[in-house]
Amino acid sequence: MEVRNRYVAIRRHIEGAPTEVDFEVREETARWSPDSGEVLVRNLYLSIDPYQLNRMKRSSASHLAVDGILPGQRIAAYAAGEVVASASPEYAAGDVVAGVLGWEDYTLFTPSPAVLMSKVDASASASAAAGGFPLSHHISALGTSGMTAYGGLFEVCRPAKGDKVFVSAASGSVGSLVGQFAKLAGCYVVGCAGTKAKVDLLKDKLGFDDAFNYKEEPDLNAALKRYFPDGIDIYFENVGGEMLEAALANMNTHGRVAVSGVISEYTGAGRRAAPDLMEVIYKRITIRGFLAWDFLPRFAEFNAVIGEWIREGKVQVVEDVSDGLESVPSAFAALFQGQNVGKKLVKLA
Amino acid sequence: MEVRNRYVAIRRHIEGAPTEVDFEVREETARWSPDSGEVLVRNLYLSIDPYQLNRMKRSSASHLAVDGILPGQRIAAYAAGEVVASASPEYAAGDVVAGVLGWEDYTLFTPSPAVLMSKVDASASASAAAGGFPLSHHISALGTSGMTAYGGLFEVCRPAKGDKVFVSAASGSVGSLVGQFAKLAGCYVVGCAGTKAKVDLLKDKLGFDDAFNYKEEPDLNAALKRYFPDGIDIYFENVGGEMLEAALANMNTHGRVAVSGVISEYTGAGRRAAPDLMEVIYKRITIRGFLAWDFLPRFAEFNAVIGEWIREGKVQVVEDVSDGLESVPSAFAALFQGQNVGKKLVKLA
């Protein structure tokens, strides 16, 4: 079988903030044959994640853990789609799957643990009451964003009831879940975001105890002192730069920092945090980096809990959906301008 | 009983590197009475430690964990001495003790866990064969330096056989022990120091696998790549600044950084490290600050192991002794010029 496949590629390695012109939509013919062992998927929802920028640079620490992306190449990405043809006994045409696919109309994959593929029940009968979820959830709260938030909070930070938790980029795909999970763990949770609408969302819809617009705070250190008069026990780091410096200055003894992402630093080394290591020593702070993939063996376990919370209405899933493959470059660039609210997705026709 | 006591004090709060003129030797009369509950100690050896500088600043993260030092005040410090008079049933005149005393001729203390006081056998009959140690060892390898090195390496870093360990300020009081302990744990150990003599000491006397003079390396990143072609698993951090940045760039996945001290940053915030947090994320690095005091409940246990290693000749104790109370200011200032080799002590007459 042959299908005409459109895919998004970078025109050149990216340094600094990405813009639409860094990308192009290319076409190729994707060939599937019954003896290939491959599965052909028509993609339905694509995940748009900030970390992908690090793969698009000429070199970056990310290249150690994830393959770098070359100009003109297909871009692997978490996505959901429908199986069109399968040469694997594990999948059949019509199956709906979520896993590592790509920023493209169709993806061929060979089943292996590395593609993290799972079949999802996205039939019309899969109502919330029957245990089903909108397909998009499988690449947001029930995908790598959920795994990052759950693993990062519960495994890396180990929150105790009453802990004071600060979440940066709190209205983003991961932050919005971390804050809600921390509330369910009995913590006091404050988030920061970059617009009034996002701050309102955190407070009014997502149940954060408080939230603030960091762009309106000339002194982040003073702002955190105001929001955390008793100090911060856990900082879930999505931002980097001076936000980390301010968080450390306000942390309590034995504070924990889970470094999930540092979006403010992705676009330039000049934005790096220069944390006061004396805070780290005297407060015995632990700063730990992690990747969602570290929790792969527990993906099903995490998802069972998150899914139950969503069903019970205890966790709200915030998604920000653009339409059409050609919107991928603008959707991606918008992440770095803070334009998304919740998980950024692109829906294909 | 009254004794004329000389003590070292700061003349003013210190910012930047300390010099002798920041200090003065003052005199007072120390009064002990039988109903005070206090113990009067004549000090014999004083510990001179870089962290004290943070207490001498107007404000510092250290003030959270340790009391700040005010101009004109006595300066508490780890030391060893002989009991002159005791109003406590736990101590008798003639006992030799090590614990929190002060930079002074005599110290009055009230027994409590906070002063970490222990009686030591320093009699003439306490030969090495009989299990005794030179008195000075009780405030170096068997004091807080040993506790810092042992706890930091074994509890914070958890070395496995074959791990590649990098120690900065490796000829210092803590670093010289950490490297030797790591060798005993079956690790590959490289240290850095600031003179050829120190580098030779590390390689020839302390059994480090290799060592280098960081002052002769224009590119620390490249130097570490050369000394650790297979990457660093554990970095024992005594220095901070660009040394941390270079170590992170050369660390392996799941690397561990124990932040024991950052002497290069004590003398100015402008020297702060700006670590690449993407290294921290993608390599899942853990950076953890700690204090020797965290291991207080295990002090005796640690010392039993360290003492045995010293007796067996497996650990060399390197001490750098100055004479007389009036030498405390110059001995302290010299720490920040890298002039000490091993643990800096001042011996009182």
Nearest-angstrom CA–CA distance, B243 and A87: 53
Ordered by start, the domain boundaries in chain A are: 2-140+318-347, 144-292
The interface predicted TM-score of the complex, written ipTM, equals: 0.94
Predicted pLDDT of residue A131:
59
Predicted pLDDT of residue B162:
98
Beta bridge partners, B107, equal: B41
Contact A121, A142 (CB under 8 A): no
- Determine, for residues A253 and B280 on separate chains, whether the beta-carbon distance falls below 8 Å: no
Predicted pLDDT of residue A336:
96
| Contacts with B252 from chain A: Cβ below 8 Å | none
Give B66's pLDDT tier (boundaries 50, 70, 90): confident
Cross-chain CB nearest to B289 (options A62, A244, A280) = A280
E strands present in chain B: 2-10, 23-31, 39-47, 76-86, 96-102, 106-109, 118-119, 164-167, 188-193, 210-213, 232-237, 251-259, 286-289, 319-323, 343-347
Closest by CA to B100, choosing from B149, B155, B147, is B147
- Determine, for residues A289 and B291 on separate chains, whether the beta-carbon distance falls below 8 Å: no
Q: Is the pLDDT of residue A282 over 70?
A: yes
Give B332's pLDDT tier (boundaries 50, 70, 90): very high
Cβ–Cβ pairs < 8 A, chains A and B: 128
What single-letter amino acid sits at B94? Answer: G
A76-86 and A39-47 strand pairing? antiparallel
Cross-chain CB nearest to A61 (options B274, B278, B289) = B278
Among the listed ranges A148-152, B5-9, B223-227, B297-301, which one has the minimum average pLDDT value? B297-301
Question: Given 3.30.360.10, 3.40.50.720, 3.30.499.10, 3.40.190.10, which CATH number is that of A144-292?
Answer: 3.40.50.720
All residues at 6 or more sequence positions from A90 whose CB lies less than 8 Å from its CB, including other chains: A111
Nearest-angstrom CA–CA distance, A224 and A221: 5
Instruction: List the CATH code of the domain at B2-140+317-347.
Output: 3.90.180.10
Nearest-angstrom CA–CA distance, A289 and A311: 31
Domain A2-140+318-347 has CATH 3.90.180.10: yes
Nearest-CA distance B66 → chain A (Å): 9
- pLDDT over 90 percentage in chain B: 91
**Residue whose structure tokens are 């510092």:** B60
pLDDT in tens, B269-285: 778 999 999 999 999 99
Nearest-CA distance B40 → chain A (Å): 30
A2-10 and A76-86 strand pairing? unpaired
Mean pLDDT score, B191-211: 98
Predicted pLDDT of residue A5:
98
Q: Which residue of A278, A279, A294 to mutate against B (max B Cβ within 10 Å)?
A: A278
Nearest-CA distance A60 → chain B (Å): 8
- Determine, for residues A259 and B244 on separate chains, whether the beta-carbon distance falls below 8 Å: no
Predicted pLDDT of residue A342:
97
Nearest-angstrom CA–CA distance, B14 and B201: 32
DSSP 3-state of B29: strand
Cross-chain CB nearest to B54 (options A240, A278, A283) = A278
Nearest-CA distance A285 → chain B (Å): 5
Nearest-CA distance B35 → chain A (Å): 37
Predicted pLDDT of residue A122:
66
pLDDT in tens, A227-276: 999 999 999 999 999 999 999 999 999 999 999 999 999 998 778 999 99
Mean pLDDT score, B1-8: 97
* Residues A9, A13, A16: CA angle, nearest 5 degrees: 115
From residue A186, alpha-carbon distances to A183, A236, B258 in Å are 5, 16, 30
pLDDT in tens, B107-129: 999 999 889 899 997 665 555 44
pLDDT in tens, B134-174: 999 999 999 999 999 999 999 999 999 999 999 999 999 99
Tell me the HSE value of A49 on the side-chain side, using a 13 A CA sphere.
Answer: 30
| Contacts with B244 from chain A: Cβ below 8 Å | 277
Among chain A residues, CA nearest to B270: A274
**Residue whose structure tokens are 């650790």:** B228
What single-letter amino acid sits at B210? Answer: D
| Average pLDDT of chain A, as a whole number | 95
pLDDT in tens, A130-177: 458 999 999 999 999 999 999 999 999 999 999 999 999 999 999 999
pLDDT in tens, B209-266: 999 999 999 999 999 999 999 999 999 999 999 999 999 999 999 999 999 999 999 9
Q: Is the pLDDT of residue A321 over 90?
A: yes
Class of domain B145-292: alpha beta
